[in-house]
């Protein structure tokens, strides 16, 4: 008999789950119980769902997979307690997520794809291209698995790990709805941020959803000419088109846009760059988040000097722009996006031990 492909039950919204269960001849309220086990109690298997009959649990196991991520490596920063998690997916692929503790709560940064095809020149996640999109369940499970491991509540989620979330739009949208759903973890929409390199049609689509989430745009340059040198996506959409789409997002959701700007020595960090950035951020009241670039071995970009960063920030402040410098978290644990995954994959290929990654290894 041909093996039937099992369906991914953790990616199903509650209405979809009700449809599935009634289709199996079960009562609709069972879907609510099942949903609660998966998305509130964060169960990793059908066996844990003790208020469902053993017979139903067996039936579910025959038809569905209950995605559950187990960390294969956890590194904890000796500096600030930030943890990097490396998860193995069902097909053997690896993704990384980060857990950060702030005074206002715990934040998880998740990946949205295995690899990335956007090709930003300073980014480690894109060096090997895109492997595949992550399913809603695989995005949710990064949050759930960290919550199970830390035994602490997650209050903020940022989609800023490996991958371009808007290049995985449909799955991202299901993920966002389920993450903020009152029948699930019920994370406040205001506490969710999606970061994009700037896919204009998808920004406009997301605007129509009227979710209260924050959109962060990775701008990194204030002229098309400079941006094209750093980000291939700038060949496709101009800064003008991008800012128009951001205005649309702001108007339709009431949420201010964050502009991310990685400061790269001698490339985009002059006072003139700061003036141009102010002119873009000002009219929409954008918040600017400056990121001292994280040098990646394979790329030859250097960080701006501390003095240059301060001067850049001052210029923005003089122009009444709300600006912060991204606090560096977990500097001792493969800080830059995608580096833990990449180095682990390289070590696995070379059959080297996985011991020299810095930080404190907890798993």
Neighbouring C-beta atoms of residue 51, cutoff 10 Å: 9
**Residue for token digits 């989620």?**
157
Give helix 200-209 / helix 239-253 axis angle, nearest 10°.
0
Among positions 9, 12, 17, 160, the unique one binding ligand SAH when judged by CB under 6 A: 160
Q: Is 317 a catalytic residue?
A: no
The answer to whether residue 19 is catalytic is: no
What does the alpha-carbon distance between residue 190 and residue 176 come to, in Å, rounded to a whole number?
A: 12
Size, binding site for ligand SAH by CB under 6 A: 18
d(CA 106, CA 97): 13
- Rounded Cα distance between 37 and 321, Å, is 45
Q: Is 266 helix (H, G, I), strand (E, B) or coil?
A: coil
The two structure tokens encoding residue 207:
């605007």
Shortest Cβ distance from residue 195 to ligand SAH (Å)? 4
Candidates 8-16, 127-135, 246-254, 287-295: pick the segment binding ligand SAH (CB under 6 A).
287-295
Residue 120 binds ligand SAH (CB under 6 A): yes
Tell me the per-residue interface mask from 189 to 228 with ligand SAH, x by CB under 6 A, - otherwise.
Answer: ------xxx--------------------x----------
Does residue 278 belong to the site contacting ligand SAH (CB under 6 A)?
Answer: no
| Distance from the Cα of residue 132 to its chain's centroid | 15
- Residue number, 60 or 116, with CB nearest to ligand SAH: 116
Q: According to CB under 6 A, which one of 193, 262, 268, 344 is a site residue for ligand SAH?
A: 262
Cβ-based burial of 106 (10 A; exposed 0-12, middle 13-18, buried ≥19): middle
Q: 96 with 161: CB under 8 angstroms?
A: yes
The residues in 1-60 that bind ligand SAH, with binding defined as CB under 6 A, are none
Least distance from C-beta 227 to ligand SAH, angstroms?
11
Q: Give the residue, chosen from 64, 87, 122, 144, that forms a contact with ligand SAH under the rule CB under 6 A.
A: 122
Q: Interface with ligand SAH includes 293 (CB under 6 A)? A: yes
Per-residue binding letters, 299-338, with ligand SAH (x by CB under 6 A)? -------------------------------------xx-
Catalytic residue among 18, 20, 76, 96: 96
Token look-up 């995954």 returns 341
CA 5, chain centre distance (Å): 28
Cβ atoms of residues 180 and 210 within 8 Å = no
Query: Which two structure tokens, joined as six digits, stand for 278?
Result: 């102010």
Judge contact between 170 and 235, C-beta under 8 A.
no
Q: CB under 6 A: which stretch of 66-74, 206-214, 269-277, 289-297 binds ligand SAH?
A: 289-297
Using the rule CB under 6 A, which residue among 20, 76, 131, 164 binds ligand SAH?
164
Report, in Å, the least distance between residue 25 CB and ligand SAH: 43
Q: Which two tokens stand for residue 103?
A: 């005074």
Which one, 130 or 291, has the nearer CB to ligand SAH? 291
- The CB density around residue 184, as the number of other CB atoms within 10 Å, is 20
95 binds ligand SAH, rule: CB under 6 A: no
Provide, rounded to whole angstroms, the least separation between the CB of residue 251 and ligand SAH. 22
Q: Which is nearer to ligand SAH, 161 or 359 (CB)?
A: 161
Torsion-angle region of 115 (φ positive above 0: left; ψ -120 to 50: alpha; else: beta): left
Which of 17, 114, 123, 274 is the binder for ligand SAH (CB under 6 A)?
123
C-beta of residue 123 within 8 angstroms of C-beta of residue 339? no
Catalytic residues: 96, 337
Instruction: Give the footprint of ligand SAH on this chain (CB under 6 A).
Output: 118, 120, 122-123, 160, 164, 195-197, 218, 260, 262, 291, 293-294, 296, 336-337
């Amino acid at each position: 008999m041909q093996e039937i492909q099992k369906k991914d039950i953790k990616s199903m919204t509650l209405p979809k789950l009700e449809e599935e269960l009634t289709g199996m001849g079960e009562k609709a309220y069972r879907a609510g119980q099942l949903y609660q086990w998966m998305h509130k109690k964060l169960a990793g298997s059908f066996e844990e769902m003790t208020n469902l009959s053993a017979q139903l649990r067996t039936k579910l196991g025959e038809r569905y997979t209950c995605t559950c991520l187990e960390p294969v490596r956890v590194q904890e920063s000796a500096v600030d307690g930030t943890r990097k998690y490396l998860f193995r997916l069902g097909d053997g692929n690896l993704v990384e997520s980060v857990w950060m503790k702030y005074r206002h709560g715990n934040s998880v940064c998740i990946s949205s794809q295995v690899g990335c095809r956007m090709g930003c020149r300073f980014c480690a996640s894109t060096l090997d291209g895109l492997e595949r999109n992550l399913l809603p369940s695989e995005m949710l499970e990064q949050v759930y698995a960290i919550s199970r491991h830390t035994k602490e509540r997650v209050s903020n989620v940022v989609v800023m790990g490996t991958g371009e979330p808007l290049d995985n739009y449909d799955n991202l949208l299901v993920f966002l709805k389920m993450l903020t759903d009152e029948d699930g973890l019920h994370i406040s929409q205001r506490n969710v941020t999606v970061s994009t390199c700037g896919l204009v049609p998808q920004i406009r689509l997301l605007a129509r959803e009227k979710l209260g989430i924050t959109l962060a745009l990775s701008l990194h340059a204030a002229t098309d000419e400079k941006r094209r040198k750093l980000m291939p996506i700038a060949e496709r959409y101009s800064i003008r088109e991008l800012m128009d789409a951001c205005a649309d997002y702001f108007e339709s959701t009431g949420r201010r846009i964050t502009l991310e700007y990685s400061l790269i020595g001698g490339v985009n960090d002059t006072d003139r760059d700061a003036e141009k950035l102010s002119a873009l951020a000002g009219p929409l009241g954008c918040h600017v988040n400056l990121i001292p670039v994280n040098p990646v071995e394979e790329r030859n970009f250097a960080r701006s000097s501390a003095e240059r960063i301060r001067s850049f920030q001052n210029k923005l402040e003089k122009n009444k722009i709300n600006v912060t410098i991204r606090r560096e978290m977990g500097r001792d644990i493969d800080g830059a996006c995608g580096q833990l995954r990449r180095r682990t994959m390289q070590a696995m290929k070379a059959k080297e031990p996985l011991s020299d990654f810095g930080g404190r290894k907890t798993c």
